Structure 1
Amino acid sequence: MVTRNKILAGLGILLAAWAIYTFFPTRTRQVKRQFSALSEWVSKEGPESNLALLNEATKADEFFAPQCTWEARKYDLSGTVTPQEVARYYFAARARFNKLTLKFYDLEIRFPERLTARVKATARITGTLTDGDSVSETHEVKCTLHKIHGKWLFGQVTVVEVLER
């Protein structure tokens, strides 16, 4: 009887630890989850209808702040955009791909303020264009995320110019 109670107590402690870990994530895990969710949102496995593409594009406000500053000189992108403008870029860019994958690696996350996260990461984009050409690019990105209404949203995205050897 005593052994059974100890086993049940141990299982209860493990269950409580799992629940705390899952339902009360740290700020770092919340930010990592947002990057993971962004990767899933951008990625595309095959052809999709324009209606499905439009539906996905409307989810931009789940990732980007009402005013998000972008800077990617290599692609002539700079300025402040709204989630609606991001959705238009998303729709136009994604329509050019049959397959697309975005992955983030080596996330360095700092919290200069309670509701602000600064992240430096490596972004890898691979895919196949509708004409059959392959795309494979790796960039260093610096992002600032703000916690707005309980969700970490991208407020600034900068593609860092890296010197090629």
Structure 2
Amino acid sequence: MSLAWIGLGSNLDAPRAHVERALDELHHLPLTRRQHASHLYATRPIGPADQPDFINAVAQLETRLSPLALLDQLQALEQRHGRVRERRWGPRTLDLDLLLFDAQCLATPRLTLPHPEMTQRAFVLVPLAEIAPTLVLPDGHDVASLAASLSEEAPPAKIPPRMLPKP
């Protein structure tokens, strides 16, 4: 079994509902179970500012899928949520990013691991540090220290929880 960390985000059509539903659906992917899920966080958009704020979270999965097979499942889940890719960093109903897969480093045309921009994003690192405070990235940086340094600049706002289904 492998461990994978997934970043979730939405800012269209009831974004909280999209993220909460996706957290539940991650638990039911083939050969995969959700182990942990962070709180939800409200964050300003990166890129075009003419869009609503995002709801973000991070989930830890245990999976028997390969990284590319998991990516296929994540992209299919995005499509079921009506994801349309109109512009880079634009608004979306659901965005699922494969952040880490065990300690693998991978660079293919479809997938780069670890996610190449995750260390510059408080909306990824803060919820990741919440569920995996001792996690160390393949480059030796620990997630908690990276999250602390970024959250001082642009801290995401934790959203009060609703009852999420247990994994």
TM-score normalized with structure 2 length: 0.28
Give the greater-gyration-radius structure (CA). Answer: 1
Higher normalized contact order (CA 8 Å, seq sep 6+, divided by chain length): 2
TM-score normalized with structure 1 length: 0.28
Higher helix proportion, which one? 1
